[in-house]
Amino acid sequence: MGEFDLIRDFFAQQQLSRQDVVLGIGDDAAILDVHPGAELITTSDLLVEGVHFPQSTSAYDVGYKSLAVNLSDMAAMGAEPAWFLLSISLPEASESWLRNFCEGLFSLASECTVQLVGGDTVRGPLAVGVTMMGWAPQSQAIRRSGARPGDGVYVTGVLGDAGLALAGIQNEVWLPQDIQMLLLITLNRPVPRVQEGIKLRGLATSAIDISDGLVSDLGHICAESNVGAEVELSLIPLSESYMEFAMPVFGYDKAVSHGDDYELCFTVPEEKEVQFTGLYKEFSVPVTRIGAITEVRDIRWIQEDGNRATFSKGHDHFPDE
Ligand code: ADP
Ligand code: MG
């Protein structure tokens, strides 16, 4: 199978076709009909085997996750995702691997109505880069920089399950097999909070997706907004599995420092919190208020006894030597 057969037989086989794709895969570049009055919003994430996912990860999950992490960035901007490019480096042209990869990729793509419009295919160590494009009405995308003192700090879903799953794989903690299996699904198939992100437009003053852990990601919101935050640890939403298996070993550490959960963290101004409480009941995921933005420019993690806790930052590819 040559490079062009591979593109034709796999990547050009998505069942979905959007009306705003004037020209998709097959030419030197794609042509997209950008909505008048909208701002184009783009993001790119690269997943490398052995760095972002263990070698044992299934092709389906690699396909799913490489798209999911980019959709999650779109969600954090309040953007509506539309099109994506796929740059892939493959050690070999294995048909069964490619079939499963495309199944994972295209099942999520269909769910979110996003179309693959081009990319690049090369031979090399397994790495998958997705560039996602979407849009939001002018000036309505949600940035990291808008948080103000007094705003409530919220997160979607539960935190720490992805970190617990990885700890299980790496034998840092014992997990019953059925729990390990369920947690692995959470780790490999994060649900991008796209619809929630869109609903937060005009309400949230800032938002980020939790890819590197709350310590790091809420840290980005605070740094960009020139504010601090106070978070009540006991309010952080945790799963039953986390409470039972992670809490005795790691405390809150996996929930706030690990990341990979791809939930949203965002801030809502005090005067809109009542309106927001009505709105988030319609979300397909629970939303929890975990603290508030402060003028003091550091993040205080408050324990149940009222004392402060400290945590390490999440993963950094280029930590200070
Ligand atoms: P060029 O040499 O002009 O860059 P390529 O041979 O790389 O063209 O690609 C041919 C067509 O296939 C282009 O439309 C390109 O966007 C598309 N394509 C290549 N690789 C992928 C991929 N992994 N996913 C989707 N489309 C791809
Ligand atoms: Mg090319």
Tell me which H or E stretch contains 73: helix 59-77
Ligand 1 atom nearest residue 4's Cα: 6
Name the residue at shortest CA distance from atom 18 of ligand 1: 119
Answer whether 119 contacts ligand 1 (Cβ < 6 A). Answer: yes
On whether the pTM is more than 0.85, the answer is yes
Answer whether 2 contacts ligand 1 (Cβ < 6 A). Answer: no
Dihedral in degrees, nearest 10, Cα atoms 62, 66, 67, 69? 130
CB 269 within 8 Å of CB 275: no
Q: How far is the CA of 211 from the centre of ligand 1 (A)?
A: 29
Ligand 1 atom nearest residue 116's Cα: 25
CB 183 within 8 Å of CB 165: yes
Answer whether 25 contacts ligand 1 (Cβ < 6 A). Answer: yes
The pLDDT, as a whole number, for residue 86 is: 98
The pLDDT, as a whole number, for residue 321 is: 55
The CA–CA distances, whole Å, from 163 to 98, 174, 189, 241, 244 equal 28, 13, 13, 12, 14
Q: Which amino acid is it at 170?
A: Q
Name the residue at shortest CA distance from atom 21 of ligand 1: 119
Q: Which amino acid is it at 11?
A: F
The pLDDT, as a whole number, for residue 2 is: 85
Return per-residue pLDDT of the chain as tens, 321 residues: 888 999 999 999 999 999 999 999 999 999 999 989 999 999 999 999 999 998 989 999 999 999 999 999 999 999 999 999 999 999 999 999 999 999 999 999 999 999 999 999 999 999 999 999 999 999 999 999 999 999 999 999 999 999 999 999 999 999 999 999 999 999 999 999 999 999 999 999 999 999 999 999 999 999 999 999 999 999 999 999 999 999 999 999 999 999 899 999 999 999 999 999 999 988 999 999 999 999 999 999 999 999 999 998 766 777 765
The pLDDT, as a whole number, for residue 315 is: 67
Q: Please report which ligand is nearest the Cα atom of 117.
A: 1
The DSSP output letter for 305 is T
Q: How far apart are CA 275 and CA 288, in angstroms?
A: 15
Q: How far is the CA of 87 from the centre of ligand 1 (A)?
A: 9
Q: How many CA atoms within 13 Å lie on the side-chain side of 51?
A: 13
Radius of gyration of the chain (CA): 20
Q: Please report which ligand is nearest the Cα atom of 67.
A: 1
Name the residue at shortest CA distance from atom 4 of ligand 1: 28
